[in-house]
Chain A
Amino acid sequence: MPEAEATFTIKAPLDRVWSFLVDPRRLGSCFPDVQEVRVLDEKTAEWVLKVKLGFIRKTIKMKSTVTDFVPQKRVTFQGVAEEAELSGTMNLESGPGEVKIHYKILMEGRGPLAPLMNDLIRRRISKQSQEFIEILQKKLEV
């Protein structure tokens, strides 16, 4: 499975960071490919992503579920769509005036285009992860 892993800090109070990360709509705004996030209930949400692979444009509807969480410490999640699935964990550690986040995400293509999806994910996952960190920092650091 293609994966991305990163550790970074956000200069903001823990409760603000935590409430942002567990709000799918606000979290979704950190990923440029995400068009819409519909919250279904406390633990599940539906994400609409638009991806472009040359002339192929795909709208991916992914259902995400929070599988485990320890408030302000850790959240584990998974996502399933027809074209891909993912799983990940985010660990938070509070420090003076900042929060250290370590996250790991694994994503894999599914269905008839799986090899192509994997290629796309492999090529983009690190860049998207970097973009996510930058946007998150911009949104949360005042």
Chain B
Amino acid sequence: MSEGHADIIVIGAGHNGLIVAGYLLKAGFSVLVVEKNPWIGGATSCREVNGFKLDWASTNHIDIQPNPLLVDDELQLKAKYGLKYIIPEVQMAGPYPDGTSMIIYRDVEKTVKQVAKLSKKDAQAYRRFAQWGIQCLETILPGMYNPPPTLGAIVSELEQSPDGQELLRAMMMSFGDIVDEWFEDDRVKALLLHYASELLLPPWENGTGSVLFIMIPIMHVYGMGCPVGGSGALAEALGRCVEAYGGKILTNSPVEKVIVENGEARGVILENGRRLRAEKAVVACLHPKPLFLNMVGEEHLEPGFVRRVKRVKQSAFSGINTTYMLNEAPRFKVEEVNEGANWEISWSLEDMMELFQDVVFRRVPPEKPCPNVVCWSKLDPSRAPPGKHSLYAISYAPYNLRDGGPSQWKEIKEEVADSVLESIREHTTNMGSGNILGRLITTPVDVEEVISSNNLLHGDLTGVRATLEQTFMFRPLISLGNYRTPVGKLYLTGECTHPGAGVAGGGRATAQVILQDFGIKFDDVLRKS
């Protein structure tokens, strides 16, 4: 491979782009990864400030834990390239303003005991919920890291059993309705709704109901992972893997155009005018809108396809993430939750519903932000200088502010971050200014412009909305659901494609389709060292 030339060019060194590159390199292709930023990892990257590793985008690596990429260490990220996860026993803790709390442990029965403190009836319900969810997960998982079957095939298989029908029903419902059907205590509901709404959709959104039957059982069966060394450790391990296989990663190299000749992708043109030739394929880890409307160009596409690209829907809201450099880890007033490192701060259920109204209707700052607060440095000291801690606090926020639009974020980001901090302070005893050495704020506009431009449009952390009409074969849109595109030899990967949002490693499925198109059996690649 010469530098301006490879079998396959991958646009975007997000974790998914790097995963595709890893499998293709293992199969024997030469691969060049072209990344706009000076760093790799996209929304799994970290910022290092004064010895603190700050997860300025993602922090909780959940959906990737059951991925055979990790379970079977298919690219030897763990064995050879230094990837390590800590899977904590306390997965998530919810301190409530009335002094009570609920902890979700890896162990179902320990969690049931926690729920029983709040409601005996809900404790029984939680046991059934988790057990049924684990069976749902068994049903869903084989489809998650592989190319999606058609919706028709999924429906026809599921409708053949009563449990399958229940799962189908849940898929069509909202997660709010599911929580209401199963539980009665507002505090239990608040914690589960809080967690599920990380989809960036409010609890009343239909077509989201199955999310809880994925997220909760993953915590029990596989566990949410803390990547040792920061969220960026995943991309760093992938980067080492790519380079060990002879792949090249060009950073600081924004792609402006995809070269299309005779209906096929033949390479890319960088913003600086440099042309890079792809002999066999181009893979884009990008949102379909900038990819097709700007980089490919409408002139190469059918009008019907262009219309479908333009109508892709984004999530209802985004998030503002503030990472703190601290002298000491936060101390919660509800003593019991100090056992954990990952907290969902909830007020009353009503307050939480109001927060959803605020963010959906684009008002900030909300009166009572409900951040997800994570202090992985309690488990992984490498994330901060000796004795210090780094803290992650992400709270829902709109991208397009009602007053002033996205550009207004520059003016109000400190104020909004302060309101989130205030929320944390009300639940803790030591988050005064004396404990805070500094902070880094990531607004939805920073996500769109800096961290994941051309992918997480509008700071939409999920890429494209994760409702039923944009999942499986329909993700991100009809006719793009199997990673192939209308432009020959151009493939789409990343969180805008199945299985979707989050650090999930869906690039594994994209790699399978590309290999299939080149007549290579995925299993033969897996067997190679």
**Which residues of chain A have a CB within 8 Å of any CB of chain B?**
1-3, 53-58, 112-113, 115-116, 118-120, 122-123
Contacts and interface: CB of A to CB of B under 8 A. Distances in A.
B290 interface: no
A119 B163 CA distance: 21
Interface of B: 68, 135-143, 145-150, 152-153, 157-158, 160-161, 163-164, 167, 509, 512, 521-524, 527
B142 A53 contact: yes
Nearest to A58: B157
A56 B149 contact: no
Nearest to B71: A123
Given A56-B160, A119-B145, 5 more contacts: A112-B153, A113-B153, A115-B149, A118-B146, A119-B146
A81 to B, nearest CB: 15
A54 B146 contact: no
B170 to A, nearest CB: 11
A57 B153 contact: no
Contact of A53 (B68, B139, B145, B150): B139
A14 B448 CA distance: 70
A36 to B, nearest CB: 20
A115 to B, nearest CB: 4
B47 to A, nearest CB: 36
Contacts of A123: 142
Given A54-B137, A55-B136, A116 B523 contact: no
A55 B143 CA distance: 13
A54 B523 contact: no
Nearest to B153: A112
A119 B142 contact: yes
B142 A1 contact: no
Contact of B146 (A2, A56, A116): A116
Contacts of A54: 135-142
Nearest 3 A/B pairs, CB to CB: A54-B139, A54-B138, A115-B146
Given A55-B163, A56-B161, A112 B521 contact: no
A55 B161 contact: yes
Nearest to B157: A56
A127 to B, nearest CB: 13
